[in-house]
Structure 1
Amino acid sequence: MGVEIVNHWYLVLLAAVLIWALWRLYFTPRIDIAHQSLKRYYALQVPSLIVGAVMCVSGIRGGLLNHWHQYLLAIPIAYIAHRLYHHRRQQLSGLALLAVAAILVLTAPIGGFRHRDIRPVALSSAAEYTNHPTETALVLNTPFSVIRTIGKSVFNDPGYFSDKDELESIFTPVHRPDAKTAGSEKKKEETGHSPALSQPSEGDSGHSLQQPTADSRPSSPNVVVIIIESFGREYIGALNHEMLPGYEGYTPFTDSLIQHSATWRYSFCNGRKSIDGMPSILSSIPMFVKPFVLTPQGLNRVNSIASCLKEKGYETAFFHGARTGSMGFNAFAHSIGYDHYYGREDFNNDSRFRGDDDFDGYWAIWDEPFMQYFALKMSELRQPFTTALFTASSHHPFRIPEEYKTQFEEGPLPIHKCIRYTDNALRRFFDTAKKQPWFENTIFVITSDHTNMSAYDEYKSDIGGFCSPIIIYTPSGIVTPGMRDGIAQQIDIMPTVLNLTGYDHPYCAFGIDILNTTAADTWAVNYLNGTYQYVDGKYVLQFDGKNVTALYRLGDWKMQHNIAGTVAEQQQMERRLKAIIQQYMDRMTGNRLTAE
């Protein structure tokens, strides 16, 4: 209890302010009490005060069961309300009433009695009720829009390049599949044996892996993207043989799956929050400055895996085990082309499952039953389809089902047991999926939304905090298993998947096709507290928007040796990063996030 109070000190402070306001009322007579019966007074006043206390104490975080200690603060508040009846009767202090009202006004919209995972509405929430971005103005309230946008210029043209042709020559996010380029990256012409037969030898960099051709690529493969909450690369033993020799990790099933999948020596996420994950993974839009969905530009037209493949006749569906509306996932999923959304309510309505008996009491349906629902529900979709799943169980407060508490032991960090549980849920998902008729002709992509708690200093650094897995598994063998040399990032998933499906129209994506790009031409970019980080095959460059602030060797995971100004490649890296930033800003402000 003491630790929780310290961790949520702001809630205690909020409650203290409320108690102080009520204590002031203790010396201030109430109005109209002489004309009310005692029973009526208690029936109206005491519940209203308790309601106010609950809203203030739980408004930011919520959770009666998980923050029960905070609700104890409602007891003295109720006592004060009782005492108020016995004191002088005169005009209620306007200032005291104003203070209480202000607290309620400020905290109730944040949460109050609403479910803790339902965020306050943003402009992008309008996308849930429209089919096209141009229609969102019809459902947005004008005063609300003004309040949310006034004085908030998030994206601005940095003016690094006045010559637009020069800018395009350095970097462009427009992909034209019929050309010899992927984004601005030069594709590698590869030859070799069938991808299903060719296996890289131990220590092979993966450069000899063949890109699937029209003959080897199956017709219209299904695409399944699994986004695992907080599933940092640190937790996966198979991805840490080089950085942490002898380390086993907490994911025995994922370790075994990696032996049959394509992975990369270096792989990164493009944001640090759950709301950054979906744009990065599904629409190839990294997080710069502020989460995309929280900005006015969140209403821009964008490409996505779903919107592109829907043009080719794919059925599209998004799955998340929380209530519909949680984190605004349903609104964003709808805006980028997912026609169906399946959440906690849909799971509860499926008689094959136990409904809210499998609710974790905090966020969502436990991962294991919801992944089973996911596997079976996909068998009801028309092929070809593309789906995305966003899991939830490896999230604070880091709980697992009661029946698994003895099976999955605690690790050094609270999240470790949750990672073990979700890894096992993933194993059971594939046990069910491989029995389904769609399994063999499916491309599976597994990644995380972001990273989380770290036990090792290598993963606590500015760049280590972005290390996420990117795993591509194809039962049919169209992508050869192996650890490839080079860099992968979340924004590479969309162009890579579209190429694997044979998508042949222009589209906008800030990433590259990592299965068809040489290791030397791979890169990653992310943004942390005002600093852009650009990673290439040798270095990590940090840039504050005006100047390079640091440069580290990629293997210097603890970032202890700043070698800025001593490396010839620094100037070229800075130039490339500036081009990426300017393309991002120009296209955000100009609503040019599609190839049209």
Structure 2
Amino acid sequence: LHPGTDESEAFDPQRVPFKRPPKNVVLISVESLSAKFLGSFGNPAGLTPRLDALARDGLLFTQLYATGTRTVRGLEALSLGTPPIPGQAIVRRPGNEHLATVGEILRRQGYETLFLYGGYGYFDNMNAYFAGNDYRVVDRTDFPKASIGFANVWGVADEFLFDNSLAQLDRAHAAGKPFLAQIMTTSNHRPFTYPDGRIDIPSPGKREGAVKYTDYAIGHFIDLARSKPWFNDTLFVIVADHCASAAGRTKLPVAGYHIPLILYAPALLASGRDDRLASQIDIPPTLLDAMGLPGDDHFFGQSLFEQRPENRRAFISNYQELGYLKAGKLVVLGPKQRVDTFLIDASGDASPTAPDPRLRDEAVAYYQTAFKAFKEGALKMGAIGIPR
């Protein structure tokens, strides 16, 4: 892969909403950030003033869905752009090195590619997966002790993760390299503890306090980034790994997968709101599309700026069931070839309905093809593009 070799991948301001392509991307995957926590999605509690401001000043996608209920599923979707395959996430499976991840693709085009995590990256095989896919991994064991003002068993408080991330981004910029940095937060997780004096909810502040502290930390990070020479050339992507809870009356409650997506680049991108149905797996090809770089044919996901209305869909899953959401219906593939179909109303509630053979066949084709592609090595870098 070499920049500019595929004319169809060139940056096109008539098709993408950017004034010019971003040179750098900072992808913040926020622990357990359900859409329902944000004021932008109607929450009246005032937990996310900084995220709501970024949503107003950026491009907010209001109908994006996570692929699963675990961090590894979110990391898989955001790096590899593939539907969740049955059972274990690819992040935890053997044979997951040198896949066509965003990091692997951009590293070959001269980018510094980073995975930064506030916890211990050996958990859930994160370090091995990202290192095996050409990301430089930085976790809490790499942070100078003096830089960590607060930590708990789950990880370094988010503000100190972001401080250490800024140092890494400055280092890449000083070396003359464009960068892709995926930052995985930890503070919005039990035990919900964080430094005193940051927000008006004392620690431990349960879920509400942790959400508000994470919001504070993201806002503080953006404030510090504004003074950096690389800020105006950088796209900030804020999205969740998964929701805080996926409990509901059905095994795959759609509302339990609803997450925010904010694209923020004030020098490059006008503010707006986009209500199209979309999946977490569409983010990797969207990034390459916005940057005008080749490689998005490696993904099952499709750029949000290229999708036709009739092709909009989302994938949701738990350990046993695989869901396919499209055109107001949810098809659920279960064990022993069970197939259930539901009508989904505007609030995400489901009611059983008659089978839809076309949607069932689409769902089966997506999930079977994704599983086969991983098993047979078709997701490896250098393999022929994904069949769509």
* In the alignment, structure 1 residue 522 sits paired with structure 2 residue 312: yes
Amino acid at match of 1:407: D
TM-score by length of 1: 0.58
- Moved runs in structure 1, 4+ residues, more than 4 A? 176-180, 456-461
Higher RCO (C-alpha under 8 Å, 6+ residues apart) = 2
What is aligned with 2:276? 486
Distance, in Å, in 1 between the alignment partners of 2:72 and 2:156 is 19
Deviation at 1:584, TM superposition (A): 0.9
Q: Kindly indicate whether the alpha-carbon contact (under 8 Å) linking 1:486 and 1:537 is maintained by their aligned counterparts in 2.
A: no
Q: For residue 374 of structure 1, report the CA deviation from its aligned partner.
A: 1.3
Change (3 A) 1:468 1:177: farther
Q: Which runs of 5+ in 2 are unaligned?
A: none
CA contact (8 A) 2:80 2:281 kept: yes
Q: Which amino acid is 2:38 matched to?
A: I
Task: Using the TM superposition, name which of 320-329 and 495-504 deviates more.
Answer: 320-329
Unaligned runs of 5+ in 1: 1-175, 181-189, 196-209, 241-245
* Among 548, 553, 571, the residue aligned to 2:357: 571
Question: Equivalent of 1:262, from 53, 59, 82?
Answer: 59
Q: What's the offset of the Cα at 1:475?
A: 2.3
Give the 3 Å change call, closer, same or farther, for CA 329–393 of structure 1 in structure 2.
Answer: same
Is residue 159 of structure 2 the alignment partner of residue 368 of structure 1?
yes
SS in 2 for 1:526: strand
* C-alpha contact 2:332 2:339 (8 A) present in aligned 1: yes
Correspondence 1:81-230 to 2 at 5 A: 210-212=15-17, 216-218=19-21, 221-230=23-32
Pick from 190, 195, 200 the counterpart of residue 407 of structure 1. 200
Match of 1:452 in 2: 244
Residue 183 of structure 2 aligns to which amino acid in structure 1? L
Q: Which residue of 1 aligns with 2:89?
A: 291
Give the secondary structure class of the aligned counterpart of 2:259: coil
User: Contact 1:303–1:507 (CA<8 Å) still a contact in 2?
Assistant: no
Structure index of larger Rg: 1
The answer on whether the counterparts of 1:548 and 1:564 sit within 8 Å (CA) in structure 2 is no
Partner secondary structure for residue 197 of structure 2: helix
Deviations along 1:417-471, one digit per CA (max 9) or x if unpaired, are 00000100011001100100111001111111111148x9699962221111122
State the SS of the aligned residue for 2:305.
Answer: helix
CA distance in 2, matches of 1:400, 1:252: 18
- The answer to whether the 8 Å contact 2:120/2:141 transfers is yes
505 and 326 in structure 1: CA distance in 2 versus 1, 3 angstrom threshold:
closer
Q: Are the structure 2 counterparts of residues 415 and 460 from structure 1 closer, same or farther at C-alpha, using a change threshold of 3 Å?
A: farther
Q: Cα 1:221–1:355, aligned 2, differ >3 Å: closer, same or farther?
A: closer
Other-structure match for 1:124 = none
Partners of 2:227 and 2:327 lie apart in 1 by 40
Counterpart CA distance in 2 for 1:525 and 1:457 is 17
Aligned to 1:45: none
Tell me if structure 2 keeps the 8 A contact 1:320–1:389.
yes
SS at match of 2:292: coil
Change (3 A) 1:472 1:547: same
CA spacing shift, 1:400–1:258, aligned 2, 3 Å: same
Partner of 1:473: 264
Question: Corresponding residue for 2:371?
Answer: 585
C-alpha distance in structure 2 between counterparts of 1:376 and 1:501, whole Å:
23
Aligned to 2:254: 463
Secondary structure of the 2:236 match is strand
Equivalent pairs counted in the alignment come to 371
Contact 1:271 1:286 survives alignment (8 Å)? no
Distance 2:60 2:309 in 1: 13
What's the CA shift for 1:514?
A: 0.7
Tell me, what secondary structure is at the counterpart of 2:25?
A: strand
1:380 and 2:182 correspond = no
> What corresponds to 1:423 in structure 2?
215
Contact 2:288 2:295 in 1 (8 A): no
Check 1:355–1:177 CA distance in 2 against 1; reply closer, same or farther (3 A cut): same
> Structure 2 counterpart of 1:590, which letter?
E
**Structure 2 Cα separation of the partners of residues 212 and 363 of structure 1:** 38
| Aligned residue in 2 for 1:397 | 191
* Structure 1 Cα separation of the partners of residues 348 and 250 of structure 2: 7
Aligned to 1:318: 115
Aligned residue type for 2:73: D
Q: How far did residue 532 of structure 1 move? A: 1.6
* Post-superposition CA distance 1:541-584 (Å, at most 9, x none): 2222634312222425232x21224xxxx222112111101211
**8 Å CA contact retained: 1:470, 1:488:** no
**1:347 is the counterpart of 2:143:** yes
| Identical residues among aligned pairs (%) | 24
Contact 1:222 1:442 in 2 (8 A): yes
Tell me, yes or no, if structure 1 residue 555 matches structure 2 residue 343.
Answer: no
Where 1:230 maps in the other structure, the secondary structure is coil
The 1:393–1:460 alpha-carbon spacing in structure 2 relative to 1, beyond 3 Å, is: farther
Partners of 1:457 and 1:586 lie apart in 2 by 31
Alpha-carbon shift at residue 376 of structure 1 (Å): 3.3
Question: In the alignment, what sits opposite 1:498?
Answer: 288
Please give the per-residue CA displacement for 1:288-334, whole angstroms capped at 9, x wherever unaligned. Answer: 222222333435x4111111111221111221122353432221111
CA 1:467 to 1:436, structure 2 compared with 1: closer, same or farther past 3 Å?
A: same
**Deviation by residue 1:179-229 (Cα, 9 ceiling, x = unmatched):** 69xxxxxxxxx9xxx78xxxxxxxxxxxxxx4258xx433x6101110111
- Looking at structure 1, the residues matched to 254 and 126 of structure 2 have their Cα atoms a distance apart, in angstroms, of 27
- Counterpart of 1:334 in structure 2 is 131
- Superimposed CA distance per residue, residues 61-117 of structure 1 (whole angstroms, 9 cap, x where no aligned partner): xxxxxxxxxxxxxxxxxxxxxxxxxxxxxxxxxxxxxxxxxxxxxxxxxxxxxxxxx
Greater helix content: 1
What residue is the counterpart of 1:82 in the other structure?
Answer: none
Does residue 441 (structure 1) correspond to residue 243 (structure 2)? The answer is: no
